[in-house]
Amino acid sequence: MGTVWRVRCAVPVAFDTQALRAVIARRLAGLVAELSHWEPASRLSRFNRAAAGSWVKLPRDFATVIAAGLDIAARSGGAFDPAIGRLVDLWGFGPRPHTRVPSDADVAGALAVSGWQRLAFDRSAGWLHQPGGVALDLSGIAKGYAVDAVARLLWEQDVAHTLVEIGGECLGLGVRPDLDPWWVDIETPPGADIAPLRVALHGLAVATSGDYVRGRHTLDPRTGRPAGAVTSLSVLHPSAMIADAWASALTVLGPDAGAALATREGLAVRCVYRVEAGVREWLSPALAAMLA
């Protein structure tokens, strides 16, 4: 996934943490083998190369992520889209970097073979249809799913008190050894004159989308171009996968449409967006209620 993972956990002194580390590494390697846009041999890359008109049987993790991605694509009006791999590659945000801005014709060509509505998915059986030329990219949801998967794995290993983080997406379960919850600071863009916000992740995840580290790399699937109004947007949700995907979708929608959708969906959101005088902060009603 091009990033690092960290797990903090409260376990007995005699607990075999090296064995636990190995179990986590195997689980993550399995997810990369299914979901990576960067690995040519991954199940995702093989789907992207599948013949037009073919149906591809997805393994369970892959099917779970696609189902969630298509659901949020529909609920966001396409602001989140798992089928924008051609656009991601065109802009150099994937495994093949580029040094030039794509032309209008390039963008139009990639848009013509992209889009979640071109996909057909048999959810009950786990079969995904490749209409021809569609390339999946799950960068906006796979890290969150991996966080959920590792947390679930730890629970199965009798580790009930843990904080899991992959590339900035976090989920906390239980409490710290001092019986405090797992406190996490929501990311704030450097130089923004905004009060810091610290949240307790007790059965809760947080995911952030922003442009202050890697530049404007969140693509608007509807236009094929980078979104630009929001500089940082964080979503809190019991599922890191759902928080991850909504953070991408709301960043694309921008402060006005994003605020309306977040309110309608009852999402806990903190949005930092640009204005002429600098930046402003918006907290959704659901997050304001959590902080009250």
CA dist 215 and 222 (Å) reads 20
Q: For residue 140, say whether it is annotated as part of any ligand binding site.
A: yes
| Annotated binding residue 244 | yes
Spatial distance between the Cα atoms of 177 and 187, rounded to a whole number of angstroms: 24
| Two structure tokens written together for 153 | 């794995």
Q: Side chain identity at 239, as an amino acid letter?
A: S
CA angle (66 as vertex; 65, 67 as ends), nearest 5: 90
CA atoms of 72 and 79, how far apart (whole Å): 9
Query: Which residues participate in the annotated binding site for Mg(2+)?
Result: 140, 244, 248
Query: Which residues participate in the annotated binding site?
Result: 140, 244, 248
